[in-house]
Amino acid sequence: MSTWAIGDLQGCYDATQRLLERIRFDPAADTLWFCGDLVNRGGQSLETLRLVHSLRERTVVVLGNHDLSLLAVGERPMAEKRKVNADLQRVVLAEDSDELLGWLRRQKLVHADRRLGWMMVHAGLAPQWTTQQAEHYAAEIEQQLRGDGYRGLLRNMYGDKPNWSPGLRGHERWRAIINWFTRARYCTPRGRIAIEEKGAPGTQAAGLYPWYEAPGRVERDLKIVCGHWSTLGLTLTQGVHAIDTGAVWGGKLTALRLDGEGLCVVQVPGRDVPPPAPRQERG
Protein backbone atom coordinates (compact mmCIF):
# COMPACT_ATOMS: atom_id res chain seq x y z
CA MET A 1 0.00 0.00 0.00
CA SER A 2 1.87 3.04 -1.31
CA THR A 3 1.03 6.71 -1.83
CA TRP A 4 2.76 8.43 -4.74
CA ALA A 5 2.69 12.09 -5.81
CA ILE A 6 3.11 12.62 -9.55
CA GLY A 7 4.18 15.80 -11.32
CA ASP A 8 2.48 17.64 -14.18
CA LEU A 9 1.18 15.20 -16.81
CA GLN A 10 0.14 17.86 -19.37
CA GLY A 11 -1.44 15.35 -21.70
CA CYS A 12 1.55 12.96 -21.81
CA TYR A 13 -0.42 9.72 -21.71
CA ASP A 14 2.38 7.41 -22.83
CA ALA A 15 4.76 8.77 -20.20
CA THR A 16 2.04 8.42 -17.56
CA GLN A 17 1.56 4.76 -18.44
CA ARG A 18 5.32 4.20 -18.29
CA LEU A 19 5.49 5.76 -14.84
CA LEU A 20 2.59 3.71 -13.47
CA GLU A 21 4.28 0.57 -14.71
CA ARG A 22 7.61 1.63 -13.22
CA ILE A 23 6.17 2.23 -9.74
CA ARG A 24 4.11 -0.97 -10.07
CA PHE A 25 0.92 0.89 -9.32
CA ASP A 26 -1.73 -1.42 -7.85
CA PRO A 27 -5.21 0.16 -8.12
CA ALA A 28 -6.48 -2.22 -5.46
CA ALA A 29 -4.07 -0.93 -2.84
CA ASP A 30 -2.09 2.17 -3.88
CA THR A 31 -3.06 5.85 -4.01
CA LEU A 32 -1.92 8.46 -6.52
CA TRP A 33 -1.71 12.20 -5.86
CA PHE A 34 -1.63 14.29 -9.05
CA CYS A 35 -0.14 17.78 -8.71
CA GLY A 36 -2.35 19.37 -11.37
CA ASP A 37 -2.06 20.30 -15.04
CA LEU A 38 -3.35 16.96 -16.22
CA VAL A 39 -3.90 18.42 -19.69
CA ASN A 40 -2.58 20.58 -22.52
CA ARG A 41 0.43 20.59 -24.84
CA GLY A 42 1.22 16.87 -24.69
CA GLY A 43 -1.04 15.82 -27.56
CA GLN A 44 -2.82 13.11 -25.53
CA SER A 45 -4.91 15.18 -23.13
CA LEU A 46 -8.13 13.26 -23.77
CA GLU A 47 -6.49 9.89 -23.14
CA THR A 48 -4.73 11.23 -20.05
CA LEU A 49 -7.90 12.71 -18.58
CA ARG A 50 -9.80 9.49 -19.24
CA LEU A 51 -7.05 7.49 -17.53
CA VAL A 52 -7.02 9.61 -14.37
CA HIS A 53 -10.83 9.67 -14.32
CA SER A 54 -10.91 5.87 -14.58
CA LEU A 55 -8.65 5.68 -11.49
CA ARG A 56 -10.67 8.27 -9.54
CA GLU A 57 -11.38 5.93 -6.61
CA ARG A 58 -7.62 5.69 -5.99
CA THR A 59 -6.51 9.22 -6.83
CA VAL A 60 -6.35 12.71 -5.38
CA VAL A 61 -6.17 15.58 -7.88
CA VAL A 62 -5.50 19.27 -7.35
CA LEU A 63 -6.32 21.67 -10.15
CA GLY A 64 -3.61 23.47 -12.09
CA ASN A 65 -3.85 26.53 -14.29
CA HIS A 66 -4.21 24.42 -17.44
CA ASP A 67 -7.01 22.39 -15.86
CA LEU A 68 -8.91 25.55 -14.94
CA SER A 69 -8.38 26.92 -18.46
CA LEU A 70 -9.83 23.70 -19.90
CA LEU A 71 -12.89 24.10 -17.68
CA ALA A 72 -13.30 27.67 -18.93
CA VAL A 73 -13.01 26.54 -22.55
CA GLY A 74 -15.65 23.91 -21.89
CA GLU A 75 -18.16 26.65 -21.07
CA ARG A 76 -17.62 28.58 -24.31
CA PRO A 77 -19.91 28.47 -27.38
CA MET A 78 -19.09 25.76 -29.90
CA ALA A 79 -17.50 28.20 -32.33
CA GLU A 80 -15.10 29.34 -29.60
CA LYS A 81 -14.28 25.77 -28.57
CA ARG A 82 -13.11 25.09 -32.12
CA LYS A 83 -10.55 27.90 -31.88
CA VAL A 84 -8.46 26.34 -29.11
CA ASN A 85 -5.51 24.07 -29.81
CA ALA A 86 -6.20 20.61 -31.19
CA ASP A 87 -5.21 18.85 -27.95
CA LEU A 88 -7.89 20.65 -25.91
CA GLN A 89 -10.41 20.52 -28.77
CA ARG A 90 -10.36 16.74 -28.56
CA VAL A 91 -11.38 16.99 -24.91
CA VAL A 92 -14.15 19.59 -25.17
CA LEU A 93 -15.62 17.97 -28.31
CA ALA A 94 -15.43 14.39 -27.03
CA GLU A 95 -18.65 12.44 -26.46
CA ASP A 96 -17.78 12.03 -22.78
CA SER A 97 -16.70 15.66 -22.33
CA ASP A 98 -19.52 16.53 -19.92
CA GLU A 99 -18.65 13.62 -17.65
CA LEU A 100 -14.91 14.35 -17.70
CA LEU A 101 -15.23 18.09 -17.16
CA GLY A 102 -17.93 17.67 -14.53
CA TRP A 103 -15.59 15.41 -12.60
CA LEU A 104 -12.61 17.72 -13.09
CA ARG A 105 -14.57 20.72 -11.84
CA ARG A 106 -15.13 18.95 -8.51
CA GLN A 107 -11.45 18.41 -7.77
CA LYS A 108 -9.50 20.29 -5.12
CA LEU A 109 -7.19 23.30 -5.07
CA VAL A 110 -5.29 21.97 -2.06
CA HIS A 111 -5.12 18.55 -0.45
CA ALA A 112 -3.77 17.91 3.05
CA ASP A 113 -3.21 14.59 4.79
CA ARG A 114 -2.06 15.23 8.33
CA ARG A 115 -1.59 11.55 9.04
CA LEU A 116 0.96 11.37 6.25
CA GLY A 117 2.27 14.85 7.02
CA TRP A 118 1.87 16.20 3.46
CA MET A 119 0.02 18.96 1.61
CA MET A 120 -0.30 19.08 -2.17
CA VAL A 121 -0.82 22.22 -4.26
CA HIS A 122 -0.19 22.86 -7.93
CA ALA A 123 1.98 25.99 -7.68
CA GLY A 124 2.48 27.54 -4.26
CA LEU A 125 1.27 29.28 -1.10
CA ALA A 126 1.52 32.93 -0.15
CA PRO A 127 4.38 33.47 2.35
CA GLN A 128 1.96 34.45 5.12
CA TRP A 129 -0.42 31.50 4.69
CA THR A 130 -0.38 28.63 7.15
CA THR A 131 -1.54 25.26 5.89
CA GLN A 132 -4.82 25.74 7.73
CA GLN A 133 -5.39 29.09 6.03
CA ALA A 134 -4.52 27.56 2.66
CA GLU A 135 -7.18 24.89 3.18
CA HIS A 136 -9.71 27.56 4.14
CA TYR A 137 -8.99 29.71 1.07
CA ALA A 138 -9.01 26.68 -1.23
CA ALA A 139 -12.41 25.69 0.14
CA GLU A 140 -13.81 29.05 -0.99
CA ILE A 141 -12.85 28.29 -4.59
CA GLU A 142 -13.95 24.67 -4.41
CA GLN A 143 -17.37 25.73 -3.15
CA GLN A 144 -17.79 28.04 -6.13
CA LEU A 145 -16.60 25.46 -8.64
CA ARG A 146 -18.95 22.81 -7.29
CA GLY A 147 -21.94 25.13 -7.00
CA ASP A 148 -24.10 27.28 -9.24
CA GLY A 149 -21.51 30.06 -9.36
CA TYR A 150 -18.85 28.14 -11.27
CA ARG A 151 -19.48 29.79 -14.65
CA GLY A 152 -19.00 33.24 -13.16
CA LEU A 153 -15.83 32.13 -11.43
CA LEU A 154 -14.38 30.69 -14.65
CA ARG A 155 -15.23 33.85 -16.60
CA ASN A 156 -13.61 36.14 -14.04
CA MET A 157 -10.54 34.18 -12.93
CA TYR A 158 -8.18 35.55 -15.59
CA GLY A 159 -5.81 38.38 -14.73
CA ASP A 160 -2.58 39.02 -12.82
CA LYS A 161 -4.14 41.35 -10.26
CA PRO A 162 -5.04 42.13 -7.55
CA ASN A 163 -2.32 41.14 -5.15
CA TRP A 164 -3.55 39.02 -2.29
CA SER A 165 -5.10 40.78 0.68
CA PRO A 166 -7.41 39.27 3.32
CA GLY A 167 -9.81 42.16 2.73
CA LEU A 168 -10.54 41.28 -0.89
CA ARG A 169 -14.06 40.19 -1.73
CA GLY A 170 -15.86 38.40 -4.54
CA HIS A 171 -14.19 37.65 -7.84
CA GLU A 172 -11.10 39.71 -7.08
CA ARG A 173 -10.52 37.69 -3.92
CA TRP A 174 -11.04 34.40 -5.73
CA ARG A 175 -8.75 35.44 -8.59
CA ALA A 176 -5.97 36.30 -6.14
CA ILE A 177 -6.37 32.94 -4.39
CA ILE A 178 -6.39 31.02 -7.68
CA ASN A 179 -3.27 32.83 -8.84
CA TRP A 180 -1.38 31.73 -5.75
CA PHE A 181 -2.48 28.12 -5.91
CA THR A 182 -2.03 27.66 -9.65
CA ARG A 183 0.40 30.28 -11.06
CA ALA A 184 2.92 31.31 -8.40
CA ARG A 185 6.67 30.93 -8.79
CA TYR A 186 8.36 34.09 -7.52
CA CYS A 187 7.14 36.71 -5.09
CA THR A 188 8.27 39.63 -2.93
CA PRO A 189 8.63 39.20 0.84
CA ARG A 190 5.23 40.90 1.19
CA GLY A 191 3.63 38.33 -1.08
CA ARG A 192 3.25 40.09 -4.42
CA ILE A 193 3.41 37.44 -7.15
CA ALA A 194 5.69 38.10 -10.12
CA ILE A 195 3.76 35.99 -12.60
CA GLU A 196 5.85 37.16 -15.55
CA GLU A 197 8.98 35.52 -14.06
CA LYS A 198 9.24 31.90 -15.21
CA GLY A 199 12.92 31.04 -15.32
CA ALA A 200 15.14 29.05 -12.98
CA PRO A 201 16.26 30.63 -9.71
CA GLY A 202 18.99 33.13 -10.38
CA THR A 203 17.29 34.56 -13.45
CA GLN A 204 14.64 36.56 -11.60
CA ALA A 205 14.63 40.31 -11.03
CA ALA A 206 16.14 41.75 -7.86
CA GLY A 207 13.88 41.62 -4.81
CA LEU A 208 12.07 38.46 -5.91
CA TYR A 209 12.33 35.05 -4.25
CA PRO A 210 11.01 31.58 -5.00
CA TRP A 211 7.72 31.49 -3.09
CA TYR A 212 9.05 28.83 -0.71
CA GLU A 213 12.12 30.93 0.19
CA ALA A 214 10.48 34.33 0.70
CA PRO A 215 11.92 36.08 3.80
CA GLY A 216 9.45 36.22 6.67
CA ARG A 217 7.40 33.26 5.49
CA VAL A 218 5.48 31.38 8.14
CA GLU A 219 6.57 28.04 9.50
CA ARG A 220 4.33 25.25 8.21
CA ASP A 221 3.33 22.02 9.88
CA LEU A 222 3.22 19.92 6.71
CA LYS A 223 5.66 19.10 3.94
CA ILE A 224 4.47 20.43 0.59
CA VAL A 225 4.58 18.68 -2.77
CA CYS A 226 3.91 20.77 -5.86
CA GLY A 227 4.40 21.06 -9.62
CA HIS A 228 3.95 23.90 -12.14
CA TRP A 229 7.57 25.08 -12.39
CA SER A 230 9.38 22.98 -14.99
CA THR A 231 12.43 25.27 -15.19
CA LEU A 232 12.97 24.74 -11.45
CA GLY A 233 13.47 21.02 -12.01
CA LEU A 234 13.36 18.41 -9.29
CA THR A 235 13.79 20.30 -6.02
CA LEU A 236 13.65 18.43 -2.73
CA THR A 237 14.07 20.64 0.31
CA GLN A 238 13.13 20.13 3.93
CA GLY A 239 9.73 21.71 3.49
CA VAL A 240 8.95 21.79 -0.24
CA HIS A 241 9.22 19.07 -2.86
CA ALA A 242 8.77 20.36 -6.43
CA ILE A 243 8.30 17.53 -8.93
CA ASP A 244 7.40 19.12 -12.28
CA THR A 245 10.37 17.93 -14.30
CA GLY A 246 9.19 19.00 -17.75
CA ALA A 247 7.75 15.78 -19.15
CA VAL A 248 5.87 17.72 -21.82
CA TRP A 249 9.10 19.47 -22.90
CA GLY A 250 11.05 16.25 -23.35
CA GLY A 251 12.19 16.07 -19.73
CA LYS A 252 11.05 13.45 -17.26
CA LEU A 253 7.86 12.52 -15.47
CA THR A 254 8.45 12.18 -11.74
CA ALA A 255 6.80 10.27 -8.90
CA LEU A 256 7.63 10.83 -5.23
CA ARG A 257 6.61 8.29 -2.63
CA LEU A 258 4.99 10.02 0.33
CA ASP A 259 4.56 7.18 2.82
CA GLY A 260 7.96 5.53 2.90
CA GLU A 261 11.10 6.00 4.94
CA GLY A 262 13.39 8.56 3.36
CA LEU A 263 12.92 9.92 -0.15
CA CYS A 264 11.98 7.59 -2.98
CA VAL A 265 11.91 9.25 -6.40
CA VAL A 266 11.06 7.42 -9.61
CA GLN A 267 11.37 9.01 -13.05
CA VAL A 268 10.66 7.97 -16.62
CA PRO A 269 11.31 9.75 -19.92
CA GLY A 270 8.67 12.30 -20.85
CA ARG A 271 7.22 13.11 -24.23
CA ASP A 272 9.36 12.67 -27.32
CA VAL A 273 9.92 16.18 -28.59
CA PRO A 274 11.30 16.45 -32.13
CA PRO A 275 14.42 18.60 -32.47
CA PRO A 276 13.94 22.01 -34.03
CA ALA A 277 14.23 22.13 -37.80
CA PRO A 278 17.63 23.35 -39.02
CA ARG A 279 17.71 26.99 -39.94
CA GLN A 280 17.89 27.82 -43.62
CA GLU A 281 20.79 30.08 -44.51
CA ARG A 282 19.69 32.98 -46.65
CA GLY A 283 21.75 33.98 -49.63
Structure confidence by residue, pLDDT tens digits, 138-165: 999 999 999 999 999 999 999 999 999 9
**Residue 279 — pLDDT band, cuts 50, 70, 90?**
very low
**For the segment 220-245, what is each residue's pLDDT rounded down to a tens digit?**
999 999 999 999 999 999 899 999 99
* Domains and their CATH numbers in the chain: 3-269 (3.60.21.10)
Say whether pLDDT at 137 is over 60.
Answer: yes
- Cα separation, 39 vs 12, in Å, equals 8
**Residue-level pLDDT at 250:** 96
What are the residues whose beta carbons fall under 8 Å from the beta carbon of 180, sequence distance 6 or more? 123, 124, 125, 126, 129, 164, 193
Q: Model's pTM, two decimal places?
A: 0.94
**Residue-level pLDDT at 282:** 36
Query: Greater confidence, 127 or 277?
Result: 127
Distance of CA 98 to the CA centre of its chain: 21
**For the segment 105-118, what is each residue's pLDDT rounded down to a tens digit?**
999 999 999 999 99
Which element (helix H / strand E) includes 5?
Answer: strand 3-6
**Rg of the chain, C-alpha, whole Å:** 19
Burial of 213 from C-beta contacts in 10 A (0-12 / 13-18 / 19+): middle
> In this structure, is the dihedral angle defined by the CA atoms of residues 112, 118, 123 and 126, taken in order, positive or negative?
positive
In 69-190, where do the E strands start and end?
110-113, 118-121, 186-187
Which residue in 61, 154, 52 sits closest to 108, CA to CA?
61
- Cα separation, 264 vs 13, in Å, equals 23
SS3 category, 169: coil
Task: Judge whether 3 and 116 are in contact, CB under 8 Å.
Answer: yes
- Cα separation, 222 vs 24, in Å, equals 27
Instruction: Kindly give the pairing relationship between strand 223-226 and strand 118-121.
Output: parallel
**Residue-level pLDDT at 281:** 40
Instruction: Kindly give the pairing relationship between strand 240-242 and strand 223-226.
Output: parallel
- Cα separation, 214 vs 41, in Å, equals 31
- Cα separation, 222 vs 240, in Å, equals 9
